[in-house]
Amino acid sequence: MLTAKMFASPQPPVGSTNRYNMAMFEQDYEENDYIGFEMLVNPDLYNIQVKLYKDKNRCLSPDHMVLFGTYHYHHGRQLVWVRPTGLEVEYYHGLPDAFELARVEDRFVHRIYYIPPFLYMSTLQEVPMNKVRRYSIKVVEIVINVVFLKQAWLVDFETSSGTNALEAFRDPCINYEPRKLAAEVKASVKKEKEDSNEVKQASAWGRQNDPWNGGPPSPRSSRSDSYSPRGTSSPNVKAEPKDETNNIFGKSNAHNSGSRTHARSSASLRRTPLPSPSRSPIRRTLASGASPRKYIDCTSANPS
């Protein structure tokens, strides 16, 4: 049996898709009385600007967009802006001083990393693109649609049949403040740990007795280390000894090691001569009537 509260609860239309307007969210908030509704629909919480983008006809068009996150890296230079259309949420990326923004393809949405306040509305983004992360993306997109509904920039918006936008909107409203507080406490603990570590490492004996007060070059740097980057001296690595007195043939080459003639002679000595045959491999036949050659032994001949 339906109660009065269940009967008055806004029900999305039955069909393949569900459409929601601002009156439905306000009515759901009045009936369930959950916290965080006024905070998330407040436009001052977000960075909303008018940006230029290329529409489906490849024409530049201005429209309101909200700063959403960074593209491809957690702290990347390219920013991601979001533009809800009522049917879908479009993502655009570009540098902070870009004249126009480029569209992010749907297959690259997982490369977008949230920034506050959207960081506190979703789950961890370090996990793979599983079912929980996909639902988290839908929740954040619903929040953006509701913000644009509040500003009267949209009449209504559409979601898939398997998503109840009214229930999905309650989760970020309730969990926004606890997640934000937990992130601030975690950042504060990390900063205190880093500061205490700097104080502890600064008390090291080597740092207190180092006459170098910063800036290139360091007094401890050698002549060969004076051009090291950032003005810091590289460690003195002992090079292997080079024997310049004898080469591989046992001859001294220290006196003319820098001459070109020595380089050419050394290169010629390293060449292995090709073996030459003692006699010609071609066997010639004697002509008819010709006598073979006679070889005279000069050692046995009598001098006259």
Q: Is residue 206 part of a domain?
A: no
Identify the band that residue 226 occupies on the pLDDT scale cut at 50, 70 and 90.
very low
User: Between 3 and 97, whose confidence is greater?
Assistant: 97
Identify the band that residue 5 occupies on the pLDDT scale cut at 50, 70 and 90.
very low
pLDDT of residue 287: 56
Total of domains in the chain: 1
Residue 112 and residue 204: Cα distance in Å, rounded?
Answer: 42
Q: Is residue 146 part of a domain?
A: yes
Residue 137 and residue 118: Cα distance in Å, rounded?
Answer: 10
Q: How many CA atoms lie within 13 A of 91 on its CB side?
A: 23
Q: What is the mean pLDDT of residues 10-24?
A: 69
Closest CA to 146 of 121, 166, 162: 166
Q: Is residue 87 part of a domain?
A: yes
pLDDT of residue 51: 95
Q: Is residue 74 part of a domain?
A: yes
Q: What is the mean pLDDT of residues 218-227?
A: 50
Sign for the CA dihedral angle at 262, 268, 272, 275 comes to negative
pLDDT of residue 270: 56
Highest mean pLDDT among 69-83, 91-105, 240-254: 91-105
Q: Is residue 114 part of a domain?
A: yes
Number of residues that this document lists for the chain: 304
Range from 48-52, 157-161, 228-232 carrying the lowest mean pLDDT: 228-232
Average pLDDT, the chain: 75
pTM of the model as a whole: 0.62
Q: Is residue 265 part of a domain?
A: no
Residue 169 and residue 140: Cα distance in Å, rounded?
Answer: 8
Q: What is the mean pLDDT of residues 50-64?
A: 89
Q: Give the range of the structural domain holding residue 105, as residue numbers without chain letter.
A: 17-183
Q: Is residue 90 part of a domain?
A: yes
pLDDT of residue 133: 80
pLDDT of residue 58: 83
pLDDT of residue 233: 46
Q: Is residue 127 part of a domain?
A: yes
pLDDT at 203 over 50: yes
Identify the band that residue 22 occupies on the pLDDT scale cut at 50, 70 and 90.
very high
Sign for the CA dihedral angle at 62, 65, 69, 75 comes to positive
pLDDT of residue 231: 46
